[in-house]
Structure 1
Amino acid sequence: MNIVRSLSALAAVLLAGSCVNSNATQGLRDAMLADGRPPDARAYGDFLVARFAAMTNDPETAAEYYAAAIDTAPEKSGIAERAVFSALLAGDYDTGVRLARRANEVGSEATLVRLTLGVDAMVRGREDEAAVYLDETDYGPFNRMVARGLSAWRIADRHGADKAETYLRAGLTGDPSLDSATLYMLGLIQAADKKDAAALETFDQLWDSGARLAVGVHAHAELLAANGQKQRALDILQGFREEIGQNAALEGLRADILAGKRIRPERLSTREGAALAVYVPAAALMMQTDDDLSGVYFVLALALDPHLQVARSLWGQSLDNADRRQEAISVLSRIPDSSEFYATARGQMAWALRREGRNQEAIAIAGDALDHSPDRGLKVQLADLFRSLDQFADADRLLSEVIAEDAKVGRTDWRILFARGATREQLGMWPEAESDLKAALALQPDDASVLNYLGYSYIDRGLNLEPALEMIRRAVELDPKSGYIVDSLGWAHYRMGHYELATRFLERAVELSPGEALLNDHLGDAYWQVGRKTEARFQWQRALKLDPSDSERERIEAKMEAGPETLVLKKAETDAAPPVPLVQRP
């Protein structure tokens, strides 16, 4: 079985499902595995139960039933491979290794099986055994990259850093985008062997190529600072912050350099380096996908180095991405408060709890994160959380702190100004909100969200009507597929009495975003004004079925009773299109 194809297929079915109901799984098992069934039927039954569990996002159960099918299924190798994948996806390294050994016994040549056994051999210090399993000959591109990094650290440990460097250089393609993971491993091995000049040359090459991997940048800046190049180290750390964003480990190093502390570069052990050889490609994979496939590799990395908390943080994020939030919270809770990633993990947990509807717990965890590490990135992330909970005063406080801190270093961030402007508009602080929104627009004049929000706010207040209409028209040009922005244009025409024109745009908005209560509500109002009263009531009824806010529900029900003329039309909490989140949520 082709491992790349099978992993892709498994990832697809896992994404398609939601968390499995254990009673449903048990019922399916009972139906498929009734007493008296022949062995083949039992094997197929186990296989189908496992498939059902995999499709419904329960890899633990999938691993259990794939494992049960190994001994009786006609095609053992493929099922064994799926069992290993499911066990690792469930975070159960020990079971994954046990099943990998069983898969090997039944003749599986799957690369994930071999990679798992290679990692386990390195964990147990069996170098010769690891060499056999990590032979790259039949590996696919991604797993070949992982195996190459693992082998380099094994070679460095057994034969020296020079041999490892020769091995890594032989695998270079000349394409920086393909070679970055290999070069990072080379630089880390050179640094571990105290060949600082060579390591700095490698890391400089990576930086100049545009590669931006936090663990590599950390090693680069450490070496620079330790070798007397503190300003160059600070420049690189600042460059990463501006291009990528804040990273807890890099911010800690930056603070240490600025405080004048002596910087001692970390010299990685074989297992620590091997863990990074798995972590680095896995982190790149996670950034390119919205599922939990990368979690398989984070589990392997943590087996090699249980203290690699950045891997645990990203593992938690991958679980959250796949809607496995309870597991994400469990993984993130294992990051100790002594780790530089503790506050980041608490912020991730707060968002996971928020998405689970556990809002009070989310607020408590957010408070704990801020108490532990009130850094800029965390404040931005948690301000976004407070805004989502309608706790606008708390969001305003955090955003104001960020803006004040930015001003001290001569920085102005339009996204923060936009967020505070939208927050203050919700708080009824219109003059202050207008100032922030205008400042954000001056910095980012072609951002559809800012144009739409400011234009809508003016229209809603009966201010600057023609300029506001132009702002919204420009926003629609920039983002014509946004139902909320097209709705703003329709609603602007409605507020100006252009009911026929408003109807056309509001119909288009509902086509783009049919499941939004507010948009259906607006279309109902427009239909009423052009005499299409039966259709208006239909749209209001539809809006009521789409979970509107309490204030929206009250307005809609009043209109159903007596029509919109009896109401003083005012903006509901969510009338303006919600601004884009300030951070990539975990």
Structure 2
Amino acid sequence: MMRRTGAVSAFLLSLSCAACAAYPGFGSHGFSQDSRYAPPADAAAFGDFLVARYAAMTDDPREAANRYAASIETAPESAGIAQRAVFSALLTGNYPQAVRLANKAHSAGNFGTLVRLTLGIEAFSEGKDSVSAAYLTEDGFGPFNRTVARGISAWRILGSVGPAAAETYLQDTLTGDPRLDSATLYMMGLIQLSAHSDEDALATFETLWDSGARLSIGLDAHARLLAANGDRARALSLLKTFQEEIGENSALENLRKDIQSGRDIQVTRLTPRQGAALAVYIPAAALITRTDDDVASVYFVLALALDPDLHEARTLWAQSLEKAGREIEAISVLADVPETSPYYSAARGQIAWALLRLGREDEAVQVARQALETSPDRGLRVQLAEIYRAESRYREADRLLTEIIRDDDLKGREDWRLLFSRGAARHALDDWAGAEADLKQALQIEPHSPLVLNYLGYAYVDQGIHLEEGLNLIRTALTYDPDSGFITDSLGWAYYRLGRYELATYFLEKAVELEPGDPTLNDHLGDAYWRSGRTLEAKYQWERSLKLEPAEQERARIEVKLLRGPDEPAVVRAESEQPLPHRP
């Protein structure tokens, strides 16, 4: 991510220049030489506030936090400034600063929700039960923060009053719908475990599982409880289902191995502080799947303030930072996950991907390889293979994926994702026979995957083989993921290759609407326009594609098209166009 400090400095300079131009009596350094033009008392706070807002809008939370902090000094009564100050401090991972700012705001009578939540967590950490209770009362919190405060309060009650009171407190907040109550039910199950009420905990976890809730921490507790009570088959079944539905998880994979090997499985019974950390972490883990920014990182910082050993929070915190393009900060967060943690391999894989996005390819490979030397983790091997594929090192990707698939076969395991990746690598190596075999096998295992359906269908059409089958595969993929710009582009390109230019234009325009920043999609639309006789619009799309920074080979091809048009012929010329679908 590009740091914005320079941009903030430029903004400050522009403010000072504007002031010099607007008011007489300023000397060479911009200071008033005439007392008649002295700034109002709150000018400094307002200036800091403006700069803080600019820094926040340009993704510089550290500068924003410092400027908001300065504005609180002179205008602490402003609820908006206090909330933003605490939020920005947490966004940078500076929990102590957030606590200082929250205390300062609170002393001036500011009771904003994030201020209260931060102070409630700090009081809980210090064992100040009544103070924490006052801050965390649910009045005034919005739905999300109310869920967080409720979970922390339950663990506070467990520590100060007892498990029965904590469970009653949570019971009173249930709606009766496990899907809506999932965060509260997870807290209840973990509190029941902590109190050694194992039968009640198992019933709670089973209710959650049957509702479709899938959370790695919850399943870890659930599977451990099953295995410890002798039901290892059920535990392994749940772990297998999680892997198939959600994907790999290092901690759960280690637990699966321990259960299969017959080792004694210990049930984890949390302390109130550890439980309170999860009360913050669990809603934040749900939030990160619904946002495209780094807002969730605020809550991961609060969770880690309660339990610094909650390493899964570090991996998701880093993921939240990466969403905002803050890869360097993400790497710093992940570097604190120790080798002894079950999340170490996942963290090293994330570091490698962050380095790759920063253009530091050699470092990315080195990090993944070094981690493999200390921990021959399957997930990390998969990560390295995907890094090879992302770097177009297809032979190395093919070799490593083949090794993993062979190892999986020996254990009776099938993973369609690996077959898809190897198929894509072999396609890039011009081994179409091998690629097609892998893609078909992946589709047998996961027949509803829009990723595989689209890839295989597009490959057929682009090569001019199995045209109707390819078209049907893409159409099926689009029914599973109708908002995908890339699958919509595949369908449009299929019609283009079949010579159905009106239909091609329709779907390619829709694809560009869905993914306006992709150079390939804009390039395809330009081709369709050209074949439809809309040459000016075609050139506009190709020029737009060039501005979106395509790969060098693609850039050269587009530049040629600007001179003489596209050279991809239709595979089959349609005798008549199909009617266009209705578009609102």
TM-score by length of structure 2 reads: 0.83
Q: Distance in 2 between the 1:81 and 1:533 partners? A: 53
The match for 2:251 is 249
* Residues 1:470 and 1:22: Cα distance change in structure 2 (over 3 Å): closer
The match for 1:278 is 280
Which of 11, 14, 34 lines up with 1:28 in the alignment? 11
Checking the alignment, whether the CA contact within 8 Å between 1:483 and 1:508 is kept in structure 2 is: no
Per-residue deviation, 1:170: 1.9
Once the two structures are superposed, residues 525-569 of structure 1 have per-residue CA deviations (whole angstroms, 9 ceiling, x without a partner) of: 77888998888777666655543433334445566778878x999
Per-residue deviation, 1:88: 0.9
Q: Are 1:114 and 2:113 an aligned pair?
A: no
Q: Distance in 2 between the 1:404 and 1:553 partners? A: 39
Q: Distance in 1 between the 2:453 and 2:532 partners? A: 28
Checking the alignment, whether the CA contact within 8 Å between 2:77 and 2:105 is kept in structure 1 is: no
Q: Distance in 2 between the 1:94 and 1:237 partners? A: 38
Q: Could you tell me which amino acid in structure 1 is paired with residue 396 of structure 2?
A: D
Once the two structures are superposed, residues 319-341 of structure 1 have per-residue CA deviations (whole angstroms, 9 ceiling, x without a partner) of: 11111111111111111111110
Partner SS state of residue 136, structure 1: coil
Q: Could you tell me which amino acid in structure 2 is paired with residue 512 of structure 1?
A: A
The match for 2:431 is 429
The match for 1:509 is 508
Per-residue deviation, 1:460: 4.7
Q: Distance in 2 between the 1:178 and 1:523 partners? A: 43
The match for 1:300 is 302
Q: Distance in 1 between the 2:357 and 2:496 partners? A: 35
Per-residue deviation, 1:503: 7.5
* Residues 1:27 and 1:168: Cα distance change in structure 2 (over 3 Å): same
Q: Distance in 2 between the 1:289 and 1:64 partners? A: 25
Per-residue deviation, 1:377: 3.9
Once the two structures are superposed, residues 255-287 of structure 1 have per-residue CA deviations (whole angstroms, 9 ceiling, x without a partner) of: 112222212212212211111111111111112
Once the two structures are superposed, residues 57-94 of structure 1 have per-residue CA deviations (whole angstroms, 9 ceiling, x without a partner) of: 11221111112112323852321121111111111000
Checking the alignment, whether the CA contact within 8 Å between 1:503 and 1:527 is kept in structure 2 is: no
Q: Which moved more, 1:71-80 or 1:233-242?
A: 71-80
Q: Distance in 1 between the 2:564 and 2:447 partners? A: 42
* Residues 1:42 and 1:396: Cα distance change in structure 2 (over 3 Å): same
Per-residue deviation, 1:189: 1.7
* Residues 1:68 and 1:478: Cα distance change in structure 2 (over 3 Å): closer
Q: Which moved more, 1:78-87 or 1:311-320?
A: 78-87
Q: Could you tell me which amino acid in structure 2 is paired with residue 283 of structure 1?
A: A
Q: Which moved more, 1:303-312 or 1:72-81?
A: 72-81
- Greater relative contact order structure (CA < 8 Å, 6+ sep): 1
Q: Could you tell me which amino acid in structure 1 is paired with residue 93 of structure 2?
A: G
Q: Distance in 2 between the 1:325 and 1:215 partners? A: 25
Checking the alignment, whether the CA contact within 8 Å between 2:77 and 2:110 is kept in structure 1 is: no
Q: Distance in 2 between the 1:206 and 1:324 partners? A: 34
Q: Could you tell me which amino acid in structure 1 is paired with residue 47 of structure 2?
A: G
The match for 2:171 is 169
Partner SS state of residue 436, structure 1: helix
Aligned 1:183-582 pairs, distance under 5 A: 183-443=185-445, 449-464=451-466, 467-468=469-470, 498=499, 501-502=500-501, 505=504, 509=508, 512-513=511-512, 516-518=518-520, 544-556=546-558
* Residues 1:200 and 1:531: Cα distance change in structure 2 (over 3 Å): closer
Per-residue deviation, 1:516: 4.9
Q: Distance in 1 between the 2:167 and 2:535 partners? A: 77
Which of 38, 42, 65 lines up with 1:40 in the alignment? 42
Q: Could you tell me which amino acid in structure 1 is paired with residue 332 of structure 2?
A: S
* Residues 1:536 and 1:84: Cα distance change in structure 2 (over 3 Å): closer
Q: Could you tell me which amino acid in structure 2 is paired with residue 329 of structure 1?
A: I
The match for 1:581 is none
Q: Which moved more, 1:323-332 or 1:24-33?
A: 24-33
Which of 144, 149, 152 lines up with 1:147 in the alignment? 149
Q: Which moved more, 1:458-467 or 1:171-180?
A: 458-467
The match for 1:576 is none
Q: Distance in 2 between the 1:481 and 1:273 partners? A: 38
Q: Distance in 2 between the 1:476 and 1:215 partners? A: 33
* Residues 1:464 and 1:140: Cα distance change in structure 2 (over 3 Å): closer
The match for 1:580 is none
Checking the alignment, whether the CA contact within 8 Å between 2:55 and 2:63 is kept in structure 1 is: yes
TM-score by length of structure 1 reads: 0.83
Partner SS state of residue 289, structure 1: coil
Q: Distance in 1 between the 2:544 and 2:214 partners? A: 48
Q: Distance in 1 between the 2:424 and 2:233 partners? A: 38
Per-residue deviation, 1:308: 0.6
Checking the alignment, whether the CA contact within 8 Å between 1:77 and 1:106 is kept in structure 2 is: no
Once the two structures are superposed, residues 319-374 of structure 1 have per-residue CA deviations (whole angstroms, 9 ceiling, x without a partner) of: 11111111111111111111110110111112222222222222222223444444
Once the two structures are superposed, residues 232-274 of structure 1 have per-residue CA deviations (whole angstroms, 9 ceiling, x without a partner) of: 2222222222222222211111111222221221221221111
Per-residue deviation, 1:206: 2.1
Q: Are 1:79 and 2:81 an aligned pair?
A: yes
Q: Distance in 2 between the 1:381 and 1:213 partners? A: 22
* Residues 1:103 and 1:556: Cα distance change in structure 2 (over 3 Å): closer
Q: Distance in 1 between the 2:405 and 2:390 partners? A: 20
The match for 2:22 is none
Q: Could you tell me which amino acid in structure 1 is paired with residue 504 of structure 2?
A: F
The match for 2:137 is 135
Q: Distance in 1 between the 2:481 and 2:212 partners? A: 30
Checking the alignment, whether the CA contact within 8 Å between 1:76 and 1:106 is kept in structure 2 is: no
Q: Distance in 2 between the 1:372 and 1:506 partners? A: 53
Unaligned 5+ segments in structure 1 are: 1-17, 571-586
The match for 1:62 is 64
Checking the alignment, whether the CA contact within 8 Å between 1:118 and 1:130 is kept in structure 2 is: yes
Q: Which moved more, 1:229-238 or 1:287-296?
A: 229-238
* Residues 1:483 and 1:170: Cα distance change in structure 2 (over 3 Å): closer
Q: Which moved more, 1:534-543 or 1:103-112?
A: 534-543
Q: Could you tell me which amino acid in structure 1 is paired with residue 65 of structure 2?
A: A
Q: Could you tell me which amino acid in structure 2 is paired with residue 57 of structure 1?
A: D
* Residues 1:129 and 1:420: Cα distance change in structure 2 (over 3 Å): same
Q: Could you tell me which amino acid in structure 1 is paired with residue 422 of structure 2?
A: R
Partner SS state of residue 176, structure 1: coil
Checking the alignment, whether the CA contact within 8 Å between 1:525 and 1:564 is kept in structure 2 is: yes
Q: Distance in 2 between the 1:290 and 1:527 partners? A: 33
